[in-house]
Structure formats: C-alpha cells, structure tokens
Amino acid sequence: MNIISVGVNHKTAPIEIRERIALSEVQNKEFVTDLVSSGLASEAMVVSTCNRTELYVVPGMPEVNCDYLKDYIISYKDARNAVRPEHFFNRFYCGTARHLFEVSSAIDSLVLGEGQILGQVKDAYRIAAEVGTAGILLTRLCHTAFSVAKKVKTRTKLMEGAVSVSYAAVELAQKIFSNLSMKKVLLIGAGETGELAAKHMYAKNARNIVITNRTQSKAEALAEELGTNRVLPYESYKEHLHEFDIIITAVSTKEYILNAAEMQQSMAKRRLKPVIILDLGLPRNVDPEVGALQNMFLKDIDALKHIIDKNLERRRAELPKVKSIIDEELIGFGQWINTLKVRPTIVDLQSKFIEIKEKELERYRHKVSEEELKRMEHLTDRILKKILHHPIKMLKAPVDTADNIPSKVNLVRNIFDLEEPNQSLQ
C-alpha cells in the first residue's frame, strides 16, 4: 500500500497559481468522490486553504502516480494555461506522512506556529469522511497527525507569543496592565486592523471597549458584534481621551490624529494615571512626542514588529522538539502500516481454527444437551484464544523493516498449513 501526496503551497508556487488550483468545499467533495468512484483511488482527501492545495491519495490503479494526479487536478481546474507540474511537490509513503504531520503541527505554515491550519486539516478529513473517501489508511494518517499537533501544542512553545501586529499590541497591553477586564479601552478606527485588535482585546477579557470611527455605522456594527454596544462620535472622541487606560489607533491618514498637547491635557485630567497608546496605523497616527510624556507608553508598528520578531525567534528554537515528536509518531505510523501486511494471515489463521472448532462441535451436537454444547463451545473458544495469542502477537510485533514481514508470515502459514493469502485484504 502506498500513500501519495502532491500539491501546491506557499513554498512551491506564487499566490496566482495557488488561487487557480484551490478547491471550494463543494469542489473538494466532488473531486475526491470522482477519484474514488472512478477507481483511480481507493482513498482520497484534499487540504485546500489560501496557502496550499494538497492531495492525499491511496492509488487504486498502477498508473495513478504523482504526475497523473498533478495532471488530473490541473485538468479538473481547467488551468493548463497557467499551472504547470513544476509548481507541485511530490511525497510518497512515509514522506507523505511526515509532510502531513509537519502541516498539522504548523511548522510548514507561512507563519510558523499559526493556529488555523490544524482546523483546516480537520475540515479536509471531515469532508473526505462525509463522502466516504477516507478509508483505513487516511483515517489513521489523519488521526496520527492530529495527535502530533496536540503533542506539539502541549509539549512545546511553538504556538506561544504573538506573531501579528494586532495580537502583539494586545499582548503588550496585557503585560503592562495584567487584568484587562478592569481597563477602559478606546479603539479609534474600525477597519480590518482595528477590528482584529478589538476582538483580541475582547478575547483577553477586556469588556469595556468603546469604538469610534469616521463612518459611525461601521463602529456601531463592530460594537454590536463584540456585544459592547459602546460608540463615540468621531467628531467628539477627543473630549473623552482622559477616560481611557488603553488607546488603540488604526486609522488611514497622513496626519497625526493625536498630538502631545492633546495628550498632556488628557493626562492632567486623569492625574497622570498610566496610559498605553498602541499606534497600529501606517503612516503613524500618533505624534512620536507623545511617548515622551510622563506615564504615557506609546508603541508603534516598529516596536510591535520587534516583539513579533522575538516571538518568531523563540518559535524557531522549538523546531528540534517538534521534529523529535514527528519522528516518534512516524515510527509508530510505519509500524502500524506494517501490521496491515499481516492482517490476511491473521484472518486466515483465525478462520482455520474456527472451522476446526465448528467441525468438532458438530460431532457432538446430537450427543449432548444444548446446555452442555454451549459449555463446550465456550471452553473451546477460550482454548483457541490462548493457542492463537502467541502467533498473532508475533505477527503484529514491530519489525525493523518491512523486509522482515514476509519471513514471519511464511513461517506462520507453513506451520499452520494455511492456503494462499486472501488478496482482497491486502
């Protein structure tokens, strides 16, 4: 049995190529269903995100190899004019397993350690399971990948520390004010960056969030989504600056929206109680001189970028631990694959002994009572279980290489005089 993976991702192809190959959920279901129902694959799954579209296939025919699958998906997406086989990567057997483990644990992601990819791989498996294209191999492969991701999350620090500007801003605010639930937050600008920052703040238990935006309806929509329902008119928010412990600015403007004089007045009104200003604007929204005021902590994108770089460096330092976990799981997965090769012999062995048992019991069916026959059957089942325990355990025992499996299988088949293996179970 082999598992092949081919695909395009952020390492092999630019975004315009990834866009051409990406599959929606509906297309994903159709694609894997077609592969399996046509007999080309016995199992199939597709992981399709903005950064990757990857096929995981157990071939159903000898001609289905990596080149065949690349051509198949290019043709399915009608993308021959833009996408070439060179845009794809290839993986086989353990290489496929290692790749999926690396993807699921987020060390193959564009942003090292990002948390979304595991959910996306789970979605891919869910889709394959729903349409019936995930069989024993892909199911085991995916569940092992989920186990790898869980171990990486709990045993390493790969996913710790903010790696986005908005999240780094919130993390910094939490370091300065340990309990955000007690702080009053002003968000100036309800665009994408501001929205993300507000949501991260809310996730860190900040509940007193007030939003102001040039277009008030946008501020109201975000406030309603957060459940805070607190909005200030953009024309008058400066009259309330002294009320806030944390001010986040994320406005598109060429002029500073806050200057030192305004903030000095604000600080006087709040009797110099500390304030942190997180300037997420580019160009900057806040006059850098504000940072020189007493008890005023001003951090712009460059300062936050420095935090992100440090966090990424810490994540990279965790890679040896992650790779060690993956190696450990690969060994277990490889040993499980090898046990599949002994299944027909185990089935044949059990069938042969059951057949012998039934023939012998049949001889006594009319010589003893029904109750006695049941006791005899129970006794023979226990004996057979003990007789077969050792040979089955020996067959399932891990081996150093798959090359050692035939000798074990042949030994058992010869000793117990088993017929040729049942090919349908291999």
Q: Transcribe 268-283 into DSSP letters.
A: HHTTT--EEEEE--SS
**Cβ atoms 46, 53 nearer than 8 A:** yes
User: What pairing do the DSSP bridges indicate for beta strands 208-212 and 89-92?
Assistant: unpaired
Cα 270 from Cα 242, distance rounded (Å): 6
Query: Is 120 labeled as ligand-binding?
Result: yes
Query: Is 191 labeled as ligand-binding?
Result: yes
Query: Is 294 labeled as ligand-binding?
Result: no
Query: Is 33 labeled as ligand-binding?
Result: no
Cα 139 from Cα 43, distance rounded (Å): 10
- Angle value at C-alpha 101, between 96 and 104, nearest 5 degrees: 125
350's tokens: 């059990």
Cα 420 from Cα 73, distance rounded (Å): 39
CB-hemisphere CA count at 13 Å for 265?
8
Told to judge if 66 belongs to the known catalytic residues of this protein, a careful annotator would answer no
SS (H, E, C) 117-147: HHHHHHHHHHHHHHCCCCCHHHHHHHHHHHH
Query: Is 193 labeled as ligand-binding?
Result: yes
Q: Which residue has the tokens 């080309």?
A: 40
Query: Is 190 labeled as ligand-binding?
Result: yes
Q: Which of 92, 137, 90, 155 is nearest to 324 (CA)?
A: 155
Q: Which residue has the tokens 């007690």?
A: 182
Residue 28 is given by DSSP the state H
Query: Other CB atoms closer than 10 Å to residue 163's CB: what's the count?
Result: 18
Query: Is 192 labeled as ligand-binding?
Result: yes
Query: Is 94 labeled as ligand-binding?
Result: no
Query: Is 84 labeled as ligand-binding?
Result: no
Query: Is 52 labeled as ligand-binding?
Result: yes
Query: Is 115 labeled as ligand-binding?
Result: yes
Q: Which of 50, 66, 94, 142 is catalytic?
A: 50
Q: Which of 391, 386, 393 is nearest to 416 (CA)?
A: 391
Query: Is 114 labeled as ligand-binding?
Result: yes
Residues tagged in the binding site annotation for substrate: 49-52, 109, 114-116, 120
Active site (catalytic) residues:
50
Return binding residues for NADP(+).
189-194
Q: Which residues are annotated as a binding site?
A: 49-52, 109, 114-116, 120, 189-194
